[in-house]
Structure 1
């Protein structure tokens, strides 16, 4: 499931983050955080995580993600890793790859299974040429280029890439989540059921039928969920 999450950050929040990112020199070669295979195809910059400013920015983004009801419904996150920040410019790109199945939480050292990936755009589409996030799944190939503050949520099992940025600068945050439901089909089923319950509740209130569907939702969560 690919899901567009609008306005994870509002314009003021994006502007505050951009004020720092557009002026800082605390960038490192993105290959330093990649595995041996990914290093050959990764050509970008990543914000140094050993700065107070990175900590402040990642905290703000992490809190915004946790407050997004659509993310909570679609991803059913058990853990959300602290977001990283990257920059693509001067033909920077990242070839086809699949994210590592296991990541280490920088705050606790805990190993996290990456079920869901998220990219949060911090540059508007008109600020750069190229730089599309291209995601391949069972239904084909999808090119994603969203407004600053918007995010795309997609299965971490997906083959994906970032096309070369031929002009301008593409800034984004990215992270991974371990879901309470690791199977993408089951997770998608729960999301669709939740959205249906919300719509029916708006139309019918807490009717007997809505309460019955809600009961089924929670019973499925008990059956499929891992804590």
Structure 2
């Protein structure tokens, strides 16, 4: 399941990040790439420091408080966030994300996400392209919008031909390992909330609540 969420950060949070990035130091993106990804990764990453860690924490907190993200993703850990910059001529060719990430603690990458910090009018090219069975899908979202997609997909970032593309990329270790199971829980949760909004706590609401709770007991990776 691929989906997007607008307005992830508050205006204050977004402004703070924009101001910081204007004077921040970026380094070669190959420093955070796996041995084969280094061959196709041509971008820049924000150099890590205490302020960078603080901004990453704010983004994680914003995702955690977003009801759609929580319901669809069921995150156990949101991890490995990177601020990425693409100038003209930069790209990230076809690749697959690492299945496991981390150092002392290892996390799965069940889902990947890209939070767009630049307006789509600020740069040309730079589309995120996700390969699917029948065709490729391109994404270039508005500022402060995030797209979430399976880490199991081959994907790429097309070359930027003009302007600057700023994004935050990250990954999620989900409580629910199987994508099909996550979708079942999402559909049930959507139906439960719809029933509650229209009719309150009905017998049907209680039965769906029971099913969600028991499926979580069965499937949750805790």
Report the TM-score range of the alignment, normalised by the length of the smaller protein. Answer: over 0.9
Q: TM-score, normalised by structure 2?
A: 0.96
Matched, 1:170 2:168: no
Q: What residue in structure 1 maps to residue 17 of structure 2?
A: 17
Give distance in 2, aligned partners of 1:174 and 1:74.
18
Q: What residue in structure 2 maps to residue 143 of structure 1?
A: 138
- Written as runs of structure 1 = structure 2, the 5 A alignment for 1:65-214 is 65-104=63-102, 109-138=104-133, 140-214=135-209
Gaps spanning 5+ residues in structure 1: where?
A: none
Give distance in 1, aligned partners of 2:137 and 2:78.
24
Give distance in 2, aligned partners of 1:148 and 1:13.
13
Q: CA deviation at 1:104?
A: 0.3
- Number of matched residues? 222
Q: CA deviation at 1:189?
A: 1.3
Deviations 1:10-60 (CA, angstroms, capped at 9, x unpaired): 333222211111222x111001111111011000000011x2221221121
Give distance in 1, aligned partners of 2:134 and 2:217.
29
Structure 1 runs of 4+ aligned residues shifted over 6 Å read none
Q: What residue in structure 1 maps to residue 33 of structure 2?
A: 34
Relative to 1, partners in 2 of residues 1:138 and 1:197: Cα closer, same or farther, differing over 3 Å? farther
User: Is the CA contact 2:118–2:165 (under 8 Å) kept in the aligned structure 1?
Assistant: yes
Give distance in 2, aligned partners of 1:181 and 1:166.
39
Provide the alpha-carbon RMSD of the alignment.
1.3
Gaps spanning 5+ residues in structure 2: where?
A: none
* 3-state SS of 1:143 partner: strand
Structure 1 window deviating more from structure 2 (188-197 vs 122-131): it is 188-197
Deviations 1:57-101 (CA, angstroms, capped at 9, x unpaired): 112111111111111111101111142100011211001111000
Give distance in 2, aligned partners of 1:53 and 1:38.
27
Structure 1 window deviating more from structure 2 (134-143 vs 168-177): it is 134-143
Give distance in 2, aligned partners of 1:163 and 1:198.
39
Q: CA deviation at 1:139?
A: 5.6
User: Is the CA contact 2:80–2:101 (under 8 Å) kept in the aligned structure 1?
Assistant: no
Structure 1 window deviating more from structure 2 (186-195 vs 136-145): it is 136-145
Structure 1 window deviating more from structure 2 (205-214 vs 9-18): it is 9-18
Q: CA deviation at 1:198?
A: 0.9
User: Is the CA contact 2:80–2:102 (under 8 Å) kept in the aligned structure 1?
Assistant: no
